[in-house]
Structure 1
Amino acid sequence: MLQGIPFLLLLLVLDWTGGYPFANYDVSVRESVYNLDVERTISKRNLKCNVDEYLTEENICCKRCENGSVKVSDCTKNMPNTSCTPCTDGKDYIDHPNALTKCRLCRSCDPQHGFEVAENCTIFQNRKCRCKKGFFCHPTQGCEKHCEPCNKCENDIIVKECTQDTDTVCGAKLNWIFPAVIGTSVAILVVVGIGIGVWLYKRGRKRDGFEGGHEKLNEPRRETVSLIHSCADIDLDAHVVDIVEEMTLPEVKKFVRKHNILQPTIDQIIQENAYDSSEQKIHLFLGWYQQNGMKGAYAMLINGLRDMKLCTVADKIEQKMEVVISNSQKNSLSHVTAAEESNVPSGDIEL
């Protein structure tokens, strides 16, 4: 009982003095440390680095490592440059400025998953993979992990081969009915074609002066010749206006451009005849005709218009030229007939 009295007295003294003597000291130290940390944090937040820099724990802006390398150590006040080391070529890479300490591992193009290497891995870029032959990348599922094997047509009828992005398209298996229908149709077409050919042949012989196997008397025999071949070397200078009259300016420009008239030449002709589209068409056509020459020019014109899907224009020009050739042949025939009549001996003339 008496032994606990000193302990009670000690408690009364501490209570009267306001606690432990070092309590106030500890509180002030803790407050100072806290205020210092707050000031450092605020200072660190206010410091802004450039885009190509990063902020270290020491509150210093250090330059980021360039592509293909990573950080070994931060810069310091005494050493202003960041220490960087390159990645290992073919093993890892970094494709952007960074403050990392490790490079990224290169991707593996696993053949068992249907991949092959498209581009090798370097320290600056990752390895690029693609689907190897016999595999394709599914358009909806993608091919990050694996490629899909191409479909194999059981009937060996392939409509479209397998590509990097599309699967094989197989055709339907033909049965015996379809070939029979095709064979019958072909036979019918052959018979009809022969019939049309015979009819055209007989019609041509009648038109050329044959009827019933005998040549008509007192009628000149004419040979059926293709209009294009008849006009193969005709001089188109006299018919330029009639020809371009059936064509629009864009059609003329497209035709001459397709037949090796350079664009600067076209622009010059258009500029020289700026306010007259008819003159523009005429001079554009003459420019082509002079460059090409007379030989084969008409055939090139008609065939070129048909290749450009301007069949109606080609037909109209052919009709005009057919009239020209027909009139020319009639004039030639009348000259020959007149010459023959002038050479008849006078004794043969009936009185």
Structure 2
Amino acid sequence: MAANHTRVPVRLIVFILFWYVLLLPCSSQSDVKVGANPWREIIRSRRQVCVDGTYEHEGRTCCLCAAGQYLEKHCSSSPDDRVCEHCQTGTYNSNPNNFESCRPCTSCSHPNANLEVAEPCTIARDTKCRCKESHYCTSNTGSCTICHPCRVCSTKIKEPCTATNDTVCDKPEGTPTTAIVVSVLVLIVVLAAVGVAVFIWKKKKAAKQPQTSSTTPDNGNQADVEMQLLNDIEPLLPKIAEQLEWKDVEHLAMQSGMLSAAIQSCMLDYPNDSQEQTLQLLKKWVDTQGRKASNKLVQNLRDSRKIAKAERIQDILCGKNLTG
């Protein structure tokens, strides 16, 4: 009888613990329906764990698609019943997502960009480009859109060209650095004195000539081009660019000796906007020409027999409002 009395409390304790463990998960699951089997709901909720995270859609929580996939259909009854599809060749998604399409892979074959493929594009990773041999790029972001040819030294190489730095050439032995600096300073002083003398001479000469009234040009000769135009045409560049085409400004840049890489970079930076390409190249060209950019622009158009464009741009420079 003593043995039977000691077994009853043990069975009772085991029975209470069993029902406590059984009912505890059911009470802690806020989304378990009343009257549902608690173990089935627990197993079902564990199966629905979203490995790549979740997103909200129309009040429902859905599982994200994995990297390399895109969302074809949102979830309807459970988080993991959304439909995902793999990205097509030439496209990718590098992170878990709920995008309805994949991004196009980056191309390394832009003309004059001097790039080559370092790592090909996969459905879960974009293409990685690098500079071709003997080329470099100084981008701080690690992603280059154009690479430049490495400098070729006529003397010894101090630091060789790398993917991110140009060649550093060593100075020739015995170069009289101090003498060169002094010579340059003397030359600058002499040129400045000559410039001042020429300026004073022209001012005196202009003072002796009778002044003529400033009239609006109505013909296409050189005298009209040399009339008083605005020296600072920066604020007018957007209006001027609207009157030009890419071929007009490209011709200007090539005639002035601008590097082909600098010209092409304007196209690469704005691949789908020809107006913005024209404006950006025009700004670069104006920066290289200085104060006489306006006269050179008008005269170049006249020399190219583009008289109508030259006259419209001359009207802009003279402060006229163009209505068409």
TM-score between the two structures when normalised by the length of structure 1: 0.32
Which one scores higher on RCO, CA 8 angstroms, separation ≥ 6? 2
TM-score between the two structures when normalised by the length of structure 2: 0.35
Larger radius of gyration: 1
